[in-house]
Amino acid sequence: MTVRRIMGVETEYGISVPGDPVANPMFLSGQVVSVYAAAHGIRSNQASWDYAFEDPLQDARGWHLDRSEADASQLTDIEDPSLANVVLPNGARYYVDHAHPEYSSPECTVPRDVLVWDRAGDAIALESVRLLASRPGQAPVNLYKNNTDGKGQSYGTHENYLMPRRTPFPDIVVHLTPFFVTRQVVCGAGRVGIGVDSRTPGYQISQRADFFETEVGLETTLKRPIINTRDEPHAVADQYRRLHVIIGDANQLDVASVLKLGTTSLVLGMIETGHLHDDWSIRRPVSALHAVSHDPTLRTTVELVDGRRMTALDVQWMYHDAARAWLDSRSDDPVPQATEEVMTLWEDVLTRLGRDVFSCASDVDWVAKLQLLEGYRSRDGLAWDDHRLAAIDIQWADVRPEKGLVHRLRDRGRLRDLVPPERVRAAQRTPPEDTRAWFRGTCVSRFGPAVVSASWDSVVFEVPGRTSLQRVPILEPERGTRAQVGRLLEESRDVTHLLDGLAAPPVS
């Protein structure tokens, strides 16, 4: 009954070369990843991704999509040796996905830790840009932490949550759909333009909402569903399910990031324990998702299947109150700090959004961006179809602190930060200590030349004197922690010593 669970975030960064609209994004993305890997001693043939046990076509509804029927974008288990794809010393994956550089954070157990390692990814993206810029004759490459180019293309920020497999998937669909339709009011990233190609002037709450077309499905880049059904646990398959969430925005404000992850984890906890009994299903949820996003005043109502009409804030309050009752039902058990933090922030943000949207400008991305844009509109008399506002929207997301507008607000103390910069810097180099990411990342940093490849659930070594590669499986995400293997990793002279130590029986 807490927010604690294995979770993480994947971020695809927008990429461009100023003045060169026809630059090859796949080639550039490869350069972005490769230059960072080389600078940190990771060779192209070392610490690459292991695809051996990936299966992106397994559907949580109980079937397997035939490869002949899958869109090419769904075949994420095919290795392309021409594309950069490495495991970093902090346990993260850094690679090229759909012509974008993507950073997949290491597994964490609480929302604030995901925030730390997600922001470490932003710092890694920034370092990559600066390393490329230092190359003589290299055209400048810009990266953006956003989800659309404003011209009809969208790229994802995905969340992952480990759940018990015993939880019926239909329950997940019923109870998560209304939550996801309305969650955007606390964690939307904001966007200039309405519609997938921004053809209609205006401002909306979510970067991603307009790109969703269906309620439930396996796809991630076409016919995007509110509930994604990919069933690829990266863990003990008969015990765990990994809920792959594709509907979120790329957040840069700390409070919104923690709320996105923390509130979702709480709702999943209520689903897992059967606490949510009422059906809060929304009629025509895809249309409701769009309608909520298109109204920054938060007055738009959605119709529930029971006939009630509610605002997105009303629906979020129902989930909040249910979570509070769920936590209070175990009054003999003190609520952990990480859980109480999420509950306090959730109540605070919902309350302030209901009173005055702009009072959340320090905490919620779409509000902070809207306040900035309204300042330009007021000063220069700009209409929402003015191209300068679209340019400001893009500049907001620039990873470079001297260019990105969100960084300027942070430097001026206009945003509420929850993690200190030194912790983010440390997370660029070191993995979380309380998940298997510790083993994966530390092996890359300590025994890099011997690490042939790795994935979320294993590390593959080349060991001197052994004719075959040695795979160390880590199917339990909370194994391989610093507490469990830290001493062995520190004392191992080489990879042979490490593997011998792992194979030795535990000392009683």
Tokens of 76: 């994420």
Bridge partners, 69 (sequence order): none
* Residue 279 annotated as catalytic: no
Question: Quick check: 198 and 149 in contact, CB under 8 A?
Answer: no
| Closest CA relative to residue 150, chosen from 184, 189, 191, 188 | 191
Task: Please state, in angstroms and rounded to a whole number, the distance separating the CA atoms of residues 86 and 454.
Answer: 9
Helices (H) and strands (E) in the chain, counts: 14, 20
Task: Please state, in angstroms and rounded to a whole number, the distance separating the CA atoms of residues 378 and 361.
Answer: 17
- b (16+ CB within 10 A) / e for 353-371: bbeebeebbbbbbbbbbbb
Question: Quick check: 102 and 220 in contact, CB under 8 A?
Answer: no
**Residue 272 neighbours by CB distance under 10 Å:** 17
Tokens of 195: 């519609």
Amino acid sitting at position 229: T
Where do the H-state alpha helices sit in 294-436? 312-328, 337-355, 365-380, 387-396, 405-411, 421-429
Task: Please state, in angstroms and rounded to a whole number, the distance separating the CA atoms of residues 125 and 409.
Answer: 20
Task: Please state, in angstroms and rounded to a whole number, the distance separating the CA atoms of residues 123 and 141.
Answer: 15
Bridge partners, 459 (sequence order): 454, 472
Task: Please state, in angstroms and rounded to a whole number, the distance separating the CA atoms of residues 289 and 213.
Answer: 10
Q: Which residue has the tokens 């290299």?
A: 138
Residue 44, SS3 per DSSP: coil
- Total count of residues recorded for the chain: 508
Where do the H-state alpha helices sit in 189-304? 254-272, 285-293
Question: Quick check: 60 and 173 in contact, CB under 8 A?
Answer: no
| Closest CA relative to residue 86, chosen from 134, 141, 131, 29 | 29
Q: Which one is catalytic: 97, 295, 363, 457? A: 97
Tokens of 440: 């994966």
Task: Please state, in angstroms and rounded to a whole number, the distance separating the CA atoms of residues 205 and 201.
Answer: 14
Residue 140 DSSP symbol: P
Catalytic residue numbers read: 97
